[in-house]
Amino acid sequence: MELNRVVVTGMGVISPIGNNLDDYWNSLINGVSGADHITLYDASKFKTKIACEVKGFDVTQFIDRKEARKMDRFVQFGIVASDMAMLDAGLNKDNINPDRVGVIVGSGIGGVQTFQQEVMDFARGDGTPRFTPFFIPKMICDICAGQISIRHNLRGPNFAVMSACATGTTAVMEAYNLLRLNKADIILAGGSESTINEAGMAGFVSMKALSERNDDPKTASRPYDKDRDGFVMGEACGILAMETLKSALARGARIYCEVVGTGATADAYHITAPHPDGLGALNVMKAALEDAEMQPEDIDYINTHGTSTPLGDGAEVKAIIGVFGEHAYKLNISSTKSMTGHSLGAAGAIEAIACIKSVVHDIVPPTINHFTDDPEIDSKLNFTFNKAQKRTVRAALSNTFGFGGHNACVIVKKYVA
């Protein structure tokens, strides 16, 4: 059986540094930080008082107010970003077969805001269970994909994936494989997350996973820096309109790039900590390269998981050197989480979009907030510190790793007819 080639024809983004594709990309290449003091709730009693919030998002510009109240914030993000991706791809009811268009959108945590609100309302009451009938449909991780399909009457494959912080990339991988196997013509794929509330933040604070650099939020997310002290929570949504090449050509669609390989592995090591030698990360990059039938030398840019945690950054660097050898020193490497924070299940999707834009425009976004080299991390590597760099990007690789030891990787390259 001959496998279909898969391309990306549209993208939509909601992020702390821009609520559309152009603003997001311009912020990335200009090194804009989305971090600031938390406004979504009173964080004064928490050790961490900063996050990368989505700013200026008015859902009523896109969704009827009554309908929006039936959706958790992460679902609202997903609806708007999917609208953007479809518009960007030129998709509409007149040029698609809805039975051949799918939606695969995941979330690392789902509707934690809804969960918290309903439980707190119950606790404050007289003990009589008065939960809204929308409690479960607003909260469950798969509802974002479901709501998108309902909105656009898309009747192809429809489900959510959940692999913690690797979720967005895993969704792209699942879409890629279904399209290759001709199970659909078009799939909207990605991840959405909104966990900046008391419950969502408190668990990570208790784990000591978050930065406590409250006096200087803009520089708090500092991957690979000696003084990094944890990640900055973010919220976001990224949606890719992925399509078989045959479908895209038949529509006369504009093609951003080709998706050529994916990989998925497990650390099988610890529920939250990465393998100290980056074994799972090493294996997932090898798997993606093998799937793409590419050599390490074919990659020009790696968008790393790079969360700004003491253990994670070093382990990933070891894995990159293990896979790429001497070519590792010819790569551009960067962590865009230095600007967006870590948006958990959405991270892989918005970072895949960063890779695609790098391939299209031959610019690598920077890792901002680098002040001091970490002696435990090879400083000869090009981490694209503090300033974007222009270079030919033939192919880019995006890494995402999640609690539980889940690793996912995707490779995109310039489209050649």
pLDDT range class, residue 278, cuts 50, 70, 90 = very high
Half-sphere CA count of 131, side-chain side, radius 13 A: 16
pLDDT reported for residue 125: 86
Whether residue 143 has pLDDT greater than 90: yes
Residue 106 has pLDDT above 90, yes or no: yes
Clarify whether 305 is annotated catalytic: yes
Alpha-carbon distance of 72 to 285, in angstroms, equals 34
pLDDT at 129: 85
Query: Looking at 152-286, which runs of residues are DSSP E strands?
Result: 158-159, 186-193, 236-244, 257-266
Of the listed 141, 237, 257, 342, which one is catalytic? 342
Q: In sequence order, what DSSP letters do the residues of 11-55 get, joined into one string?
A: EEEEBTTBSSHHHHHHHHHTT----EE--SS--TTSS--EEB---
Annotate 97-120 with DSSP letters as a single string: -GGGEEEEEE-SS--HHHHHHHHH
Please compute the mean of the pLDDT values over residues 320-348 and round it to a whole number.
Answer: 98
Render pLDDT for 128-138 as a digit per residue (tens, 0 to 9). Answer: 888 999 999 99
Instruction: Give dist(CA 70, CA 316) in Å, integer.
Output: 40
Angle (deg, nearest 10), helices 143-152 and 73-89: 40
Question: In this predicted structure, what is the pLDDT of residue 392?
Answer: 98
Q: What confidence category does residue 305 fall into, taking pLDDT thresholds of 50, 70 and 90?
A: very high
Query: Rounded mean pLDDT of 241-268?
Result: 98
pLDDT at 219: 98
User: How far is it, in rounded angstroms, from Cα 221 to Cα 369?
Assistant: 7
**Known active-site residue 165:** yes
Confidence label for 9 from pLDDT (cuts 50, 70 and 90): very high
pLDDT at 213: 97
Question: Of 152, 305, 370, 406, which residue is the catalytic one?
Answer: 305
Residue 416 burial (CB count, 10 A): 6
- Closest-CA residue to 244 (of 189, 184, 188): 184
Q: Which residues pair with 241 in a beta bridge?
A: 10, 188
Q: What is the pLDDT, as a whole number, of residue 130?
A: 86
Q: pLDDT grade, residue 407 (50/70/90)?
A: very high
Token pair listed for 212? 């406590």
Mean residue pLDDT across the chain:
97
pLDDT in tens, 176-231: 999 999 999 999 999 999 999 999 999 999 999 999 999 999 999 999 999 999 99
- The alpha-helical segments, DSSP class H, found in 7-111 are 21-29, 65-68, 73-89
What is d(CA 320, CA 304) in angstroms, rounded to the nearest whole number?
A: 9
Q: pLDDT at position 364, please?
A: 98
Give me the domains of the chain, ranges plus CATH numbers.
7-251 (3.40.47.10), 262-413 (3.40.47.10)
State the catalytic residue, choosing from 52, 141, 144, 165: 165
Is the predicted pLDDT of residue 327 greater than 90, yes or no?
yes
Confidence check: pLDDT of 126 > 90: no
Percent with pLDDT over 90 in the chain:
97
Per-residue pLDDT of 179-188, as tens digits, reads 999 999 999 9
* Total-model pTM: 0.97
Per residue in 14-62, pLDDT (tens digit) is 999 999 999 999 999 999 999 999 999 999 999 999 999 999 999 999 9
